[in-house]
Chains A and B, each alone.
Chain A
Amino acid sequence: DGGITQSPKYLFRKEGQNVTLSCEQNLNHDAMYWYRQDPGQGLRLIYYSQIVNDFQKGDIAEGYSVSREKKESFPLTVTSAQKNPTAFYLCASSMIGGWGQGEQYFGPGTRLTVT
């Protein structure tokens, strides 16, 4: 089955530690995205990538970093510089252009708790 996997489902870290969230897709999509979701704030874009070895900052990139070494993978690192990292993180992917534009497929999410 094609889809997006995110691991782990729940993640707990101590303040000051970096943590990496995994996102893998087998949909052969060119574009991948990371969103942060907080109650009452909808989804906010952290980073996105349209091609391997290239990515762009979204609206709230500070304190986060990404890499795109393979088409299928787009890991997100939450660094110790992120002031309020506790949130629900969603990864998505999409085709580029054509009828599929904007139709993003989402993973099940990772809930990160930092104490």
Chain B
Amino acid sequence: AQSVTQPDIHITVSEGASLELRCNYSYGATPYLFWYVQSPGQGLQLLLKYFSGDTLVQGIKGFEAEFKRSQSSFNLRKPSVHWSDAAEYFCAVASFGNEKLTFGTGTRLTIIP
């Protein structure tokens, strides 16, 4: 069975600093990987996705993520965070031909001035 681990429950970053959120997955074949963002009390919005090809994928709002098969990781990065980036971030995995997503438990990001 596929699974996703987000080891950081809460991260605090200063505005303008760089950000990296960690995601590790467990899946036998090549996974389809996603990062979603959720503002408080709202639904989730897709930031970016990886299906195949270039292992560095660009998303919305200046985010990027890198797929590393050898480390079973798909970490999310942003060079310089803005106060509006404060939210909860979820990593998710799907398998080929299976529409269901398996989500990690999320990482809450706090931005300090």
Give the residue of B43, B90, B96 whose beta carbon is less than 8 angstroms from that of A42.
B90
Q: Mark B49-91, 1 if CB is under 8 A from A, else 0.
A: 1010000000000000000000000000000000000000010
Interface of B, helix, strand, loop or mixed by DSSP: loop
Q: Which residues of B from 82 to 113 have beta carbons under 8 Å from A? A: 90, 92, 94, 96-97, 99-101, 103-106
User: CB of B28 within 8 A of chain A?
Assistant: no
Does A106 lie within 8 Å of B45, measured CB to CB? yes
Q: Assuming the A-B contacts A42-B105, A106-B43, are A99 and B100 also in contact, with contact meaning beta carbons closer than 8 angstroms in the complex? A: no
Per the CB 8 Å criterion, the residue count for chain B at the interface is: 24
Assembly CA distance A104 to B42 (angstroms): 15
Does B105 lie within 8 Å of A40, measured CB to CB? yes
Give the residue of B90, B94, B105 whose beta carbon is less than 8 angstroms from that of A102.
B94
CB distance from A39 to the nearest CB of B (A): 9
Does A31 lie within 8 Å of B41, measured CB to CB? no
Does B34 lie within 8 Å of A102, measured CB to CB? yes
CB distance from B25 to the nearest CB of A (A): 13
Q: What residues on A are CB-neighbors of B17 within 8 Å? A: none
CB distance from B104 to the nearest CB of A (A): 6
- Given A109-B42, A109-B43, 7 more A-B residue pairs with CB atoms under 8 Å apart are A42-B105, A99-B51, A101-B94, A101-B99, A102-B49, A103-B46, A106-B43
